[in-house]
Amino acid sequence: MRVSGAFLPWLAAITAALLAWGLYDGLLVAPPDYQQGETVRIMYVHVPSAYLSMMIFGTMAFASAVALIWRHPVADIAAKASAPIGAGMTAAALATGMLWGQPMWGTFWVWDARLTSMLLLFFIYLGYMALWAAIDDPERAGKAAAILALVGSVNLPIIHFSVEWWNTLHQGPSVLVSGGSTIEGPFLRPMFIMIGAYTVFYFTVLIWRMHQEIIARRIRSLRLLQAQG
């Protein structure tokens, strides 16, 4: 706690610096696209939040497996503390995607496989948080929520491969494709800076939230002791 607490202000500073650099690079330095014009700049917030929304759920599923198998209490806390951040990222990815879709596709929303599976991820996040809130005993709540996180992780490959398995309105992958990226360099630089900024942001808020959760659990056990004594 003391060590990670000392890191927190530094992590927050790195987040702020990366965000400022990425936004400056993306909004002012990067060129407009030949088809999308200035609208391409939405990518610099859409792609990082979409990436984080899936990366965070993957982390939660892994932490949940560790909590279920090895009964490590910190794994439980890490998964619980991650959920609201991931839900926020999913909401941001959906919202920025809609803002991009209206001028580019001609519609805010379509029920294609990518958009629908992403909305499903958002509801799984909400369900996960609701499950934690619904059960009072943290040990039982953790076990139920961990199972939900593992079940929900089935959705992750579906989201990722949806644009390849079925024809969708959402475009296919453009960064991680065989034969190199179909995105030119000047667009990629701000995108990767923003992905870095979002990732550090996640770890900053995660550590901060885990601190709060650990303190809350200590207070809870002290109260229980007091009530018994």
Partner 1 sequence: MTRKRQRMIFVVTGLISLGVATGLVLLALGDNLVFFHGPSEVVSEEFPPQRRFRLGGLVEEGSVKRNEDGLTVEFVVTDLVNVVPVTFTGILPDLFREGQGVVAEGRLGADGVFVATEVLAKHDETYIPADVVDALKAAGQWQGD
Residue 180 found at the interface with partner 1 (CB under 8 A):
no
Find the binder of partner 1 among 40, 55, 60, 205 (CB under 8 A): 40
> Contacts with partner 1: how many residues (CB under 8 A)?
41
Give phi and psi for 176, each to the nearest 5.
-95, 70
Candidates 49-57, 73-81, 100-108, 131-139: pick the segment binding partner 1 (CB under 8 A): 100-108
Task: Tell me the two tokens of residue 160.
Answer: 């990722």
Residue 141 found at the interface with partner 1 (CB under 8 A):
no
Quote the CA–CA distance of 174 and 212 in Å, as a whole number: 39
| Inter-axis angle of helices 113-134 and 138-152, nearest 10 | 170
Smallest distance, partner 1 to C-beta of residue 178, A: 13
| Inter-axis angle of helices 155-165 and 113-134, nearest 10 | 170
Distances in Å between the Cα of 82 and the Cα atoms of 2, 85, 94, 149 are 20, 5, 18, 11
| Inter-axis angle of helices 43-70 and 138-152, nearest 10 | 120
In 3D, which of 128, 193, 119, 194 has the Cα closest to residue 162? 119
Residue 36 found at the interface with partner 1 (CB under 8 A):
yes
Tell me which residues in 189-228 interact with partner 1 (CB under 8 A): none
Smallest distance, partner 1 to C-beta of residue 79, A: 14
Smallest distance, partner 1 to C-beta of residue 165, A: 8
> Do 116 and 166 touch, CB atoms closer than 8 A?
no
Residue 158 found at the interface with partner 1 (CB under 8 A):
yes
Residue 21 found at the interface with partner 1 (CB under 8 A):
no
Looking at the Cβ atoms of 161 and 203, the one nearer to partner 1 is 161
Looking at the Cβ atoms of 185 and 229, the one nearer to partner 1 is 185
Quote the CA–CA distance of 22 and 193 in Å, as a whole number: 5
Chain contacts with partner 1 (rule: CB under 8 A): 31-37, 40, 43, 65, 68-70, 103-107, 110-113, 150-151, 153-154, 158, 165-169, 171-174, 182-184, 186-187
